[in-house]
């Protein structure tokens, strides 16, 4: 029964971790511009994320280490420092977007400019980490994130052409604007396999004290959790395709997000979008700040558990506090979250080889995993993800330049 509870926990973690403002914006841009044609990218990203999280969880359950710990042990402190620097740099780019996303939701609700919300939202984010246990972060934030399932309901109520939706699940060539099409495909997949997601997952498994008994449950948690995330991201794409596409509405500014669910749900759609955006972005901001702190603690050998009191692990608390402060400044000076999203996702794709590459070696090392080392299928998929990560790293920045 307890493991069944962890299964549902995996579902809500997947929903909370997957549907942030970056995923929402890219899915909506893809749907508005190319209809259902980029659904395959959301699904491919979900499959990649499920495989990576399953491996990160298996490493934690069997080896008793996070991905970050194992990479430091296997590749040395210098490589870990590089990984930490890269993840921290990307986190500091994405964190303002997520804090900004929560602020934008509050602007939609109140009419008060989003910059004014930056400090209260950052304080709320910090307070959750300062006062809350890991279970509170995991269950509390992620359970509320279930409201994002409204996108699935909205996609259903829009009565899309299901044969076209199914066709969108298979990769196809665009009939216009190919550079933008491939750029959006790259960043949808890149956003799904952002390193912070599986780094958070493995740290969470350690916090939850998983053992080798969790290997089977972990597989289900990763598959169902990330599957749910991909479903919601795909649903957002379908809704945007039906609501924005026929009207010729693109997504150039954050204010246009507020219109996304109106066709399907009327006035309720506006308020559900506000709540979904606020909750999902706040949850992701908390996750990202926590990942920065976990990586610093794991890299430098500091005590680092969300369940311990901040006074007993001041450096851990200092890192997430510093990350939140640094992430708040761009929002205060008025960064438009949507304008920064595509750039930050392109840079996230650049960092993927550094984070995903070493995982293959760790997951084949019996010292960590004993009999639970990767099988052939897992290795083939990780090699494919690494190849994809290299391709994304090479193509996203040129596509960003030529496609925007």
**Which residues are at the interface with other proteins (CB under 8 A)?**
107-108, 110-111, 247-250, 252-253, 255-256, 258-259, 262, 266-267, 269-270
> Closest CB to other proteins among 255 and 367?
255
C-beta of 222: minimal distance to other proteins in Å?
38
C-beta of 404: minimal distance to other proteins in Å?
10
Asked if 42 contacts 237 with a C-beta cutoff of 8 angstroms, the reply is: yes
Residue 235: how many CB atoms within 10 A of its CB?
26
C-beta of 248: minimal distance to other proteins in Å?
5
C-beta of 346: minimal distance to other proteins in Å?
19
Question: Which conformational region is residue 32 in: left (phi greater than 0), alpha (psi within -120 to 50 degrees), or beta?
Answer: alpha
Residue 175: how many CB atoms within 10 A of its CB?
10
> Closest CB to other proteins among 175 and 213?
175
CA distance 174 to 242: 18
CA distance 284 to 106: 16
Q: What burial class does residue 111 get, using C-beta atoms within 10 Å of its C-beta: 0-12 exposed, 13-18 middle, 19+ buried?
A: exposed
CA distance 366 to 372: 8
> Closest CB to other proteins among 223 and 260?
260
Percent helix / strand / coil, the chain, rounded to 5:
85, 0, 15
C-beta of 345: minimal distance to other proteins in Å?
20
C-beta of 108: minimal distance to other proteins in Å?
5
> Closest CB to other proteins among 301 and 398?
398
> Closest CB to other proteins among 259 and 290?
259
> Closest CB to other proteins among 111 and 366?
111
């Amino acid at each position: 029964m307890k493991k069944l509870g962890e299964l549902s926990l995996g579902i809500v973690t997947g929903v909370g971790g997957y549907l942030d403002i970056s995923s929402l914006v890219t899915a909506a841009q893809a749907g508005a511009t190319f209809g259902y044609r980029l659904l395959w990218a959301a699904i491919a990203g979900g499959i990649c994320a499920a495989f990576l999280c399953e491996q990160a969880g298996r490493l934690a359950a069997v080896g008793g280490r996070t991905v970050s710990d194992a990479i430091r042990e296997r590749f040395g402190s210098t490589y870990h420092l590089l990984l930490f620097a890269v993840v921290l740099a990307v986190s500091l780019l994405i964190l303002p977007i997520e804090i900004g996303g929560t602020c934008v939701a509050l602007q939609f609700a109140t009419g008060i400019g989003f910059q004014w919300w930056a400090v209260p939202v950052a304080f709320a984010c910090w307070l959750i980490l300062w006062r809350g246990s890991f279970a509170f972060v995991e269950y509390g934030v992620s359970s509320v994130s279930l409201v994002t399932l409204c996108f699935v309901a909205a996609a259903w109520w829009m009565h899309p052409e299901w044969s076209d939706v199914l066709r969108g699940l298979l990769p196809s060539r665009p009939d216009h604007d190919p550079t933008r099409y491939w750029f959006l495909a790259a960043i949808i997949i890149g956003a799904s396999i952002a390193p912070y997601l599986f780094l958070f997952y493995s740290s969470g498994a350690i916090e939850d004290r998983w053992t080798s008994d969790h290997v089977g449950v972990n597989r289900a948690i990763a598959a169902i959790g990330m599957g749910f995330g991909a479903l919601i991201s795909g649903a957002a794409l379908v809704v945007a395709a039906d609501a924005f596409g026929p009207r010729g509405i693109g997504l150039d500014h954050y204010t246009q997000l507020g219109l996304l669910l109106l066709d399907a749900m009327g006035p309720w759609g506006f308020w559900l979008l506000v709540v979904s955006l606020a909750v999902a972005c706040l949850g992701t901001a908390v996750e990202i700040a926590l990942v920065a702190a976990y990586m610093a603690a794991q890299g430098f050998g500091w005590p680092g558990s969300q369940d311990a009191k901040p006074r007993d692990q001041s450096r851990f608390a200092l890192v997430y506090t510093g990350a939140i402060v640094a992430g708040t400044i761009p929002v205060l000076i008025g960064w438009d979250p949507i304008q920064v999203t595509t750039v930050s996702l392109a840079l996230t794709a650049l960092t993927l080889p550094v984070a995903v590459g070493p995982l293959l070696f760790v997951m084949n090392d019996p010292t960590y995993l004993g009999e639970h080392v990767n099988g052939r299928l897992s290795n083939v998929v990780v090699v494919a993800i690494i190849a994809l990560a290299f391709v994304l790293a090479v193509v996203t920045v040129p596509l960003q330049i030529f496609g925007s």
